[in-house]
Amino acid sequence: MALCGFAQQDASSDLGPVLKHLGTTAQALQHSLPSFTCQETGVSGWRSLSKAGDHDDFSATLRAKRNSEGTFSESYESTRLNGRPFSSHEFTFPYYVSGGFDRAMRYFLPEQQVCYRYSLSGNRLTFESVPDIPEHRQCSDSGLHGMAILDADGDAVHLERRVSQQSARLLNLAPYAAIDFSPVILDGKTFWLSSHMVSDMLQGNFAMHFDVTYSDCRLFTATVKIGPATQVSPSGP
């Protein structure tokens, strides 16, 4: 762990071990999490600030794939929409949030801990962007505020964070997000994956809402079937 991260922490004998443990968990998500698939069920909706809007209930198969350069990409294949089997017609959700797996705990990465001030009270860990964030080249979350609820082992079971509308636009972030975490075994290792995520944002005169649950997460594998050999006759000139 980068020792410089402790310069921004409250004087607490418990805070150091907690951040070290969360840093290890965050590193596992960002660097060791293998490709996997989950069942995704949720609602994407919008409403006007002056009247009721609309929403879409959906189910989908989500695939989170680690690319050759080490980054993660998420894609989904819709299976049901508003109570009916999904057809192949083109459809765009009013509001859809991605990146809630490998980046969900990035606020605790050892190299990022210098970017935040942490405070621990019981099992509640709060964090916020440091005032001198422009002096740290690796930091980008200006004006961020968040909190995490820890279980008895120090693992984050719930996390919430907010950024300003301006920062959200600049960094392509959801202004508000709340995530519940659950342990999932993938390839023999335990990872703390997002199991429930809620996000809200304002877009002009509209309030957007996204609420999704992830279940049945498992290692993503591809099956290749090799047929019997076929003799090919040589072709002449």
pLDDT tens-digit readout, 71-82: 889 999 999 999
> What domain count does the chain have?
1
d(CA 62, CA 39): 6
pLDDT for res 1 = 30
Cite the DSSP H helix spans in 83-208.
165-171
Query: Is residue 185 in a domain?
Result: yes
Asked if 114 and 4 count as a contact pair (C-beta separation under 8 A), the reply is yes
Q: What is the pLDDT of residue 13?
A: 61
Res. 228 pLDDT band, cuts 50 70 90? low
Asked if residue 145 is part of any domain, the answer here is yes
Q: What is the pLDDT of residue 2?
A: 32
Residue with more model confidence, 193 or 132: 193
pLDDT at 222: 56
Closest to 15 (Cα-Cα) out of 122, 107, 106, 114? 122
Query: Would 24 be classed as within a structural domain?
Result: yes
pLDDT the model gives residue 185: 96
CA pair distance 18, 24, nearest whole angstrom:
10
CA Rg, the chain, in Å? 21
10 pLDDT higher than 60: no
Question: Is residue 40 included in any domain, yes or no?
Answer: yes
Residue 231 lies inside a defined structural domain of this protein: no
pLDDT given for residue 227 in this prediction:
54
Instruction: Name the residue range of residue 72's domain.
Output: 3-219
Residue 225 lies in a domain: no
Q: Is the predicted pLDDT of residue 3 greater than 50, yes or no?
A: no
Which single residue is written with the structure tokens 């944002």?
201
Q: Span 33-43, mean pLDDT?
A: 96
CB 56 within 8 A of CB 212: no
Please give the average per-residue pLDDT across 84-110, as a whole number. Answer: 89
Q: Is residue 180 domain-resident? A: yes
| pTM (two decimals) | 0.84
In a domain, residue 232? The reply is no
| DSSP-H helix ranges across the chain | 15-27, 165-171
Distance, in Å, from the CA atom of 217 to the CA atom of 196, rounded to the nearest integer, reads: 12
